[in-house]
Amino acid sequence: MNNSLTIRQVAALTGLSVHTLRYYEQIGLLTSIDRNEHGHRCFTSEDVTWIEFINRLKATGMTLTNMLEIAELKRKGDPTLTARRILLEEHYSEVQKALMELQTNLHLLAEKITTYKELENRHALKQKLNEQPTDRSTE
């Protein structure tokens, strides 16, 4: 297995800790990780691609339970393609809803920032006007 990667290399590539990779294997999120003659894990590029996919699912808020379900369906092969697609479509909808909520909140923050900038400008102008000396010689 010349093109295999060690667990440390995979950790560096994926941003996951060695402990997390071992945990994912233990719970069944990663399977079929080969071992070398010394018993060390040997990851393939396909394994890394799967881990990167898992990372994306996690980053978008998918639960570990749902990720495990997708992993189990993947192990069962092509007859589960529709079930996997449906799970991903459901998650996609949830992510879209969350993005819309974030977009609304972001818009409200932008409006509040604009309001504060306007208030700051008014305050600065008011202070500037109060600081100007009055010319009493013309009185």
Structure confidence at residue 12 (pLDDT) = 97
Spatial neighbors of 94 by CB under 8 A, at least 6 apart, are 61
Q: Helices H, strands E: what count in the chain?
A: 5, 2
Q: In this structure, which amino acid lies at residue 33? A: I
pTM above 0.85, yes or no: no
What whole-number distance in Å separates Cα of residue 26 and Cα of residue 68?
Answer: 12
Question: What are the average pLDDT values for consecutive 10-residue runs of the chain, which has 139 residues?
Answer: 86 97 96 91 95 97 97 96 98 98 98 97 92 65
Structure confidence at residue 1 (pLDDT) = 45
Nearest to 30 by CA among 70, 71, 60, 58: 71
What whole-number distance in Å separates Cα of residue 49 and Cα of residue 9?
Answer: 14
Degrees to nearest 5, angle at CA 71 with 70 and 77: 90
What whole-number distance in Å separates Cα of residue 122 and Cα of residue 116?
Answer: 10
Q: What is the pLDDT of residues 14-52, one digit of tens each?
A: 999 999 999 999 999 998 899 999 999 999 999 999 999
